[in-house]
Structure 1
Amino acid sequence: MNSSGSYHIADIANSIEGEINRLKAQVDLFWANEWKHYQSHGLTGAKAVIELGSGPGFLLEKLLTHIPHANVTGLEIDRLLVDYATDYLKKEKQSRWQVYEGDIIQTGMEDNTFDFAISRLVLEHLPDPTKAIKEIYRILKPGGKVILVDNDFEMHIMTYPHVSGLRELYDAYCQARFAEGGNPKIGRELPQILKDGGFTNVQFDIVNAHSTILGDEMFFQSEGVGIPYKLVQDGFLSSKDLGKISVSWRKMVQDKHHAIVRQLC
């Protein structure tokens, strides 16, 4: 979301359309479990909700559906994604939403505006996530809440049977994001970042997705091949290693007892 961070949709994968489809699948993959957490923290009673780093608008769509009385705001720095989300959400045919172009570090929003803030898979791409948290704290009303959802690539995709080479793939991804100023292992740091940003009553949870429950296809769509191919193009991963991973992955899914597990913090 931040222009000096490590996520730019035009650069992170080899296809913008493919990456947008992956982002939608990534929301769908975790939604059932995420929604339970949102409910437990009182999101259903919120009147004014903001998602910072709202991307193509897929989470905004779900919030509009599940919180019928809330005004929902999206903030996104990438003009392409702002335009996409605006067009995508027009089908909602209601006036409870707006999407703005802006930076999570300096939102331009007034103090004490929102009851609830969500930032999903954004902090891991920022060079200074604490600044973002302080800004979120500023725009929340007294007693307002924030939910952060982020990766920790030490706990990314796990499989049974084991897929040889996944660790090499994720190490390559981490190298690429670290080189651009991001931190794909930020999940374990979220509680301290929240405290440094001024928040109290901090809680920490893990959200899981399992292929035996959700099916394989959602995992295939949420991972995709665009980012691995881009890692090869940029020299972080060899084509030989990617080939080995692909062969091992196909063998894994052919096992009738196979399992794919992914976690978010």
Structure 2
Amino acid sequence: MTREGSYHVQSIGSNVEIEIKRLQAQVELFWPNELKHYREFGLSDGMSVVELGAGPGFMIDKIAERFPRCQLTALEVDPLLVEYAKNYLTQKNRQDCRVIQGSIMATGLAENSFDFALIRMVLEHLPDIEGAIREVLRILKPGGKAVFVDNDFEMHIMTYPHIPELRELYDAYCQARSNEGGSPKIGRELPVLLKKGGFSRVDFDVVSAHSDIVGDEMFFRSEGIGIPSKLVTEGYLSSKTLGKISVGWRNMVKNKDHAIIRQIYLAAGEKKR
């Protein structure tokens, strides 16, 4: 979540509180499968862990719950989200989680400080991706691991029965974010970018969520109408197309055999010892 690129919580959707709730649902949607991958990529209890671009604090809270002995730092550039994260984590009694305001481009954190770094849905919004990756590498300890998680809007929500107009929605979203300096199809590029940034032992995987496993409601909450409505307001998407998507979505969920699937992309790398 950053003011430095194509994501601004105050303006990306139609309402800040609705957008924050969407972000929370997006964490919930993938968390069980993400957790498996984070453990596979090296996350364990007792580590010093930093999340860069921590937003409202929902993901760092999940990590605190599963790994209670970790020393946790959440860095976020947007002061609104910093304040939200502090309040949220205080309510969850996460006293050992440090929340600080700062940029992933120049964190101000000490070199060789962390065992594990998580950068989730951040690179896709940044104009200087390689600079951000190098900064993550700098603050990791030798042998430390980083996991970068991002979207690729060439493949976002897919449904059965198929809703063809979703392609127009994602094309409009990609155009809007690209115009703001983002890279909405970055998922496929992650391994190459990590190697360019100096990471070794790079790994890559795809995490999926399916409505028949997590339920429809999780998808409804993690998508919402806020961003599509803003795309219509800004002229990237026609109201007619959005109307067709709404009708198609309603008809799709009425089908007893319907399915909704979404995927995100994970790349992990290690700092050389």
Name 2:81's counterpart in structure 1: 81
- Offset at 1:253? 0.5
2:7 alignment partner, SS class: coil
Q: Give the percent of matched residue pairs that are identical in Structure 1 and Structure 2.
A: 60
- Offset at 1:41? 1.6
Letter in 1 for 2:260: I
Name 2:257's counterpart in structure 1: 257
Cα deviations by residue, 1:75-114 (Å, 9 ceiling, x for unpaired): 0000000000000000233431111110000000010010
For structure 1, the 5+ residue unaligned runs are none
Q: Does 1:96 align with 2:99?
A: no
Name 1:144's counterpart in structure 2: 144
Seen in structure 2, the aligned counterparts of structure 1 residues 73 and 251 have a Cα distance that, compared at 3 Å, is: same
Name 1:26's counterpart in structure 2: 26
- Offset at 1:46? 4.8
- Offset at 1:68? 1.1
Higher helix share: 1
Root mean square deviation of aligned Cα: 0.9
CA distance in 2, matches of 1:164, 1:248: 9
2:107 alignment partner, SS class: coil
Higher strand share: 2
1:201 alignment partner, SS class: strand
Structure 2 counterparts to residues 100-249 of structure 1, below 5 A: 100-249=100-249
Seen in structure 2, the aligned counterparts of structure 1 residues 217 and 138 have a Cα distance that, compared at 3 Å, is: same
2:54 alignment partner, SS class: coil
1:144 alignment partner, SS class: strand
CA distance in 2, matches of 1:185, 1:200: 23
Q: Is the 8 A contact 2:24 2:222 kept in 1?
A: yes
Q: Is the 8 A contact 2:64 2:94 kept in 1?
A: no
Q: Is the 8 A contact 2:61 2:94 kept in 1?
A: no
CA distance in 1, matches of 2:103, 2:28: 25
How many pairs were matched up?
Answer: 265
Name 1:58's counterpart in structure 2: 58
For structure 2, the 5+ residue unaligned runs are 266-273
CA distance in 1, matches of 2:44, 2:233: 44
Letter in 2 for 1:95: Q
CA distance in 2, matches of 1:245, 1:2: 29
Letter in 2 for 1:107: T
